[in-house]
């Protein structure tokens, strides 16, 4: 796979094609010629149309696009939650294409962390038990030093014995983030992680995601519709009609908003 230089709408030069590889190594997660079709015949919907994109280790990337652009479908395929119609997906050096459901479950358990908009915490468990649940289910020991560091950074030390119903929305999302980070996954996928939060809590969660990249070397891929949230990322991949139409480094709310409007303006 190669990278080309193309002239952008503002006259500057930007690389196009497959991007995001770690220098000298394999990207944390990537897709090649990824196609996803829902339905058949006249009712078929081509949600992804030949997407090729890589996400480098230790970077924070946002995936954006209008409703129906394919951004959530792309994340679900990258995370092994949904199978592709054709093309290839890999996490670390593991090729997901053709894996059995049992093997996919193992990959998701060992290499992937999830931060969901709806938190997905078990209400009967304490915050601590929710955080360690993935490791408990996998029969893996908890690295107490790493856990203690995460709990401290996320400000959860005095909330570990509380159940989700006793926590604010922001606190619940921080518990969900700690749960995703505790197993040290190859990549954390965040699906609209600020969608159910107020502005202050949302900003805190985005700050923690950035800190996990900066301080822990974590790879984070976030789907969001909010240009302000996307601006916390180091890179923004923009989709429209199932294709990658823009790829921004060092995004700002203004540059993200322009990139989102461009496909509509071109019609």
At 35-54, the pLDDT tens digits run: 999 999 889 999 999 999 99
Question: Is residue 157 domain-resident?
Answer: yes
Question: Is residue 166 domain-resident?
Answer: yes
Among candidate residues 134, 125, 169, 131, the one with its CA nearest the CA of residue 148: 131
Question: Is residue 235 domain-resident?
Answer: yes
Where is 102: in which H helix or E strand?
helix 101-111
What are the start-end ranges of the E strands in 205-255? 220-223, 235-240, 243-249
Question: Is residue 230 domain-resident?
Answer: yes
Please give the pLDDT value at position 22: 43
Question: Is residue 5 domain-resident?
Answer: no
Q: What is the pTM of this model?
A: 0.85
Q: Are 77 and 104 spatial neighbours (Cβ–Cβ below 8 Å)?
A: no
Split into its structural domains, the chain has a count of 1
Give residue 116's domain range.
57-84+98-265
Taking the C-alpha atoms of residue 138 and residue 24, their distance in angstroms, rounded to an integer, is 31
Question: Is residue 89 domain-resident?
Answer: no
Question: Is residue 221 domain-resident?
Answer: yes
pLDDT tens for residues 58-100? 999 999 999 899 999 999 999 999 999 999 999 988 999 889 9
CATH number of the domain at 75, please: 3.40.50.300
Question: Is residue 102 domain-resident?
Answer: yes
To the nearest whole percent, how much of the chain has pLDDT over 90? 73
pLDDT-derived band at 19 (thresholds 50, 70, 90) equals: very low
Question: How far apart are the two ends of the chain, measured CA to CA in Å?
Answer: 30
Cα–Cα distances in angstroms (integers) from residue 37 to residues 46, 50, 51, 87, 197, in the given order: 4, 11, 13, 12, 32
- Is the pLDDT at 208 greater than 60? The verdict is yes
Please give the pLDDT value at position 24: 42
- Is the pLDDT at 17 greater than 80? The verdict is no
pLDDT tens for residues 216-264? 899 999 999 999 999 999 999 999 999 999 999 999 999 999 999 887 6
pLDDT-derived band at 1 (thresholds 50, 70, 90) equals: very low
């Amino acid at each position: 796979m190669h990278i080309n230089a193309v002239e952008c709408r503002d006259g500057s030069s930007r690389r196009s094609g497959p991007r995001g590889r770690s220098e000298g190594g394999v990207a944390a997660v990537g897709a090649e010629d990824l196609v996803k079709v829902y339905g058949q015949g006249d009712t078929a919907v081509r949600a992804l149309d030949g997407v090729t994109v890589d996400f480098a280790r230790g970077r924070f990337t946002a995936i954006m696009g209008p409703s129906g652009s394919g951004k959530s479908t792309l994340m679900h395929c990258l995370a092994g939650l949904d199978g592709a119609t054709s093309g290839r997906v890999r996490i670390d050096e593991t090729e997901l294409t053709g894996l059995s459901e049992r093997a996919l479950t193992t990959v998701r358990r060992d290499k992937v962390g999830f931060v969901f908009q709806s938190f997905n915490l078990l209400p009967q468990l304490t915050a601590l038990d929710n955080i360690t649940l993935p490791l408990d289910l996998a029969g893996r020991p908890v690295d107490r030093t790493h856990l203690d560091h995460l709990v401290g950074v996320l400000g959860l030390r005095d909330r570990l014995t509380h159940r989700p119903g006793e926590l604010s929305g922001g606190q619940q999302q921080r518990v969900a983030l700690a749960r995703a980070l505790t197993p040290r996954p190859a990549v954390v996928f965040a699906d609209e992680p600020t969608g159910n939060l107020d502005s202050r809590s949302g900003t805190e969660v985005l700050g923690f995601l950035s800190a996990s990249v900066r301080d822990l070397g974590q790879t984070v891929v976030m789907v969001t519709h909010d240009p302000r949230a996307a601006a916390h990322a180091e890179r923004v991949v923009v989709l429209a009609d199932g294709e990658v139409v823009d790829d921004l480094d060092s995004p700002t709310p203004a540059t993200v908003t322009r990139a989102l409007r461009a496909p509509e303006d071109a019609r």
